[in-house]
Amino acid sequence: MAKTDMQLKQEIEEELRWDPKINAAQIGVTVDTGAVALFGAVDSYAEKWAAEEATKRVNGVRTVAQDLTVKILTNHIHDDSEIAGAVQNTLKWNVYIPNTITAKVQQGTVTLEGQAIWNFQRVTAERAIRCLTGVVEVFNLISLKPQTSLTQVSEQVLAALQRQASVDAKSIHVETAGGKVTLTGHATSWQSIEDATNAAWAAPGVTQVIDHVTMSPSL
């Protein structure tokens, strides 16, 4: 039986309160036929993303739109030069981040630039920066320059989904055009969609993944 918007709202609020990384008292939640909007303030950029991830964990959530404002705590305020130093060290010391990735900082906003071979390198760089104190926003402009050509991606992605025992493997379809992979179909959870997306990005030569998979909790 499908949840009502009120039930879904209550469960999301409970999940936000349950997560110790989140100050749920500052976050408001609205739900309209499974589409969730988050609004209010958070103490860090990391908390902003933790709130979205917590919301996606709730069964029945179809989409999430967040309008959360980052208001840095007084003891976490740093000037741009301090943040830039922290960013540089974070990128330098992470084994998954190549030295071709650079960053610039302006008023607490970090812009990542440069090139990477794999998408996981681009994602790792952004996630590492999210948790630095003083950061209020991160823009990821890192481009992908694969070193291998794209071959048999559809078969490879579908095989990966089956190996990972995804219950939605048969309901997710894969189409390729050059380095672009488009995912369509249905999934019962955000985790299944994320698994499919990660599987697509792991294929050699992929430069773009378009996720058109729709949520169908009762599938």
- Residue 149: predicted pLDDT: 67
Q: Which residues of the chain have pLDDT under 50?
A: none
- Residue 1: predicted pLDDT: 64
- All CATH 3.30.1340.30 domain ranges of the chain, comma separated, are 5-71, 75-144
- Residue 99: predicted pLDDT: 96
Q: Which amino acid is at 164?
A: Q
- All CATH 3.30.300.130 domain ranges of the chain, comma separated, are 153-215
Q: Could you tell me the fold of the domain covering 153-215?
A: GMP Synthetase; Chain A, domain 3 (3.30.300)
Q: For the structural domain made of 75-144, what CATH number should be given?
A: 3.30.1340.30
3-state secondary structure the chain: CCCCHHHHHHHHHHHHHHCCCCCHHHEEEEEECCEEEEEEEECCHHHHHHHHHHHHCCCCCCEEEEEEEECCCHHHCCCHHHHHHHHHHHHHHCCCCCCCEEEEEECCEEEEEEEECCHHHHHHHHHHHHCCCCCCEEEECCEECCCCCCCCHHHHHHHHHHHCCCCCHHHEEEEEECCEEEEEEEECCHHHHHHHHHHHHCCCCCCEEEECCEECCCC
pTM for the predicted model, two decimal places: 0.83
- Residue 83: predicted pLDDT: 97
Q: 5-71: what CATH class?
A: alpha beta
Question: What separation in angstroms does the CA of 165 have from each of 82, 136, 153, 158, 168?
Answer: 45, 38, 19, 11, 9
